[in-house]
Structure formats: structure tokens, C-alpha cells
Amino acid sequence: MQLEGANGAGKTTLMRLMTSALQPTSGKVLYLGRPVQDCRYEYLDNILYIGHQSGVKMILSAEENLRWMSPASTSAAEIALALDAVGLRGYTDVPCYSLSAGQHRRVALARLSTSKAAIWYLDEPFTSIDKQGVLNLQHQLEAHLQRGGAVILSTHQNLPIDGLRTYVVDPHSDIGLPL
């Protein structure tokens, strides 16, 4: 599912509501038919959220960042593989403050390879990523969808991904999400 909408329309707010980082003032978020407050841990265990601020620590290296953000069972080889996949080979032990904005994004996106979550929430994942990176990410999203996973992302790009539905976020309409 792709969220579209003008700047300030509420894409990020909607996404934060869905991940339960924000509490809705009215209405509710359902997970498998149940309100998320009732199955909070079960739900949160199954989602992965990468927002504008990705949680990458500048004074840690790419490898330390990914190790921290990955499940505890992730092996060192898997971490190395994930960083290779986002094109950060050779940069794994440099502090992130010496990397570029696009590379920070890539560190955060490397989580997609190590995570076991079924639902991915990606807020503007293509920001400052180069063309090759965009292509890689598209392949990764397609692979996740083929595994039966769900992806909810906000972007202004047109993505050639099969089965991707578009939902326009408009603050003046009150239609519920067709999930």
C-alpha cells in the first residue's frame, strides 16, 4: 500500500497512528480484527517502522547500529550480508557521522534484511537514496510481498510494483483505510 498526499496532508501522522506511536483521539487501529491496545505486544512484535528519523546513532558504526536494531538471534554473518546488500561494504566500521545522508538511510534500510516482521511501515524510504539504491529497495519490497508480507510506505514516486495499491491521504475526507 502506498500512501500519497500533499506535504502536510498527514502521511507521517497516519503512519505513526498505525504503529501506535500516537494514540488516536477518535477511532481505533485494528490488527487481525482486534484493537491494537488489546494485543499490543503481539502487534508491535510483528511490525517494523522506519521513519524520517531512522534511529541511526551517529557515533556508532553501521555495524553496531544494525546489530542494535536487529533481532538478538541475528548472526554476525547476517549483519555483514545485510550491509553488503545496501552497498555499505567497506563502511561497516566507520562511525556514521562520517557517512553521507544517503548512507545513513541505507544503514536504516539494512534492517529490512535482518527483520522478521511481517508488516513494514516505511516513511519516505527513498529520501536521499541514489537510483541503484531505489531499484534495490524496490526488489526488496517485491520479495517481501511475495513472501506474504505487507508493506505500507509513503512516497511521491511512482513505483512499478505489482499489487501496490495507492491510498490518498486527504485531511478533508474521513474515509477509513481499505485494509
Q: By CB under 8 A, name the binding residues for other proteins.
A: 16, 19-23, 40-49, 51-60, 64, 68-74, 95, 115-117
- Residue whose CB is less far from other proteins, 28 or 89: 28
Cβ 51 to other proteins, closest distance in Å? 6
The minimum distance between CB 136 and other proteins, in angstroms, equals 21
| Closest distance to other proteins from the beta carbon of 174 (Å) | 21
Q: How far apart are the first and last CA of the chain?
A: 9
Nearest-approach distance from CB 37 to other proteins, in angstroms: 13
If the CB atoms of residues 55 and 171 are measured against other proteins, the closer one turns out to be: 55
Q: Give 45 or 170: the residue with its C-beta nearer to other proteins.
A: 45
Q: Between residues 128 and 158, which has the closer beta carbon with respect to other proteins?
A: 128
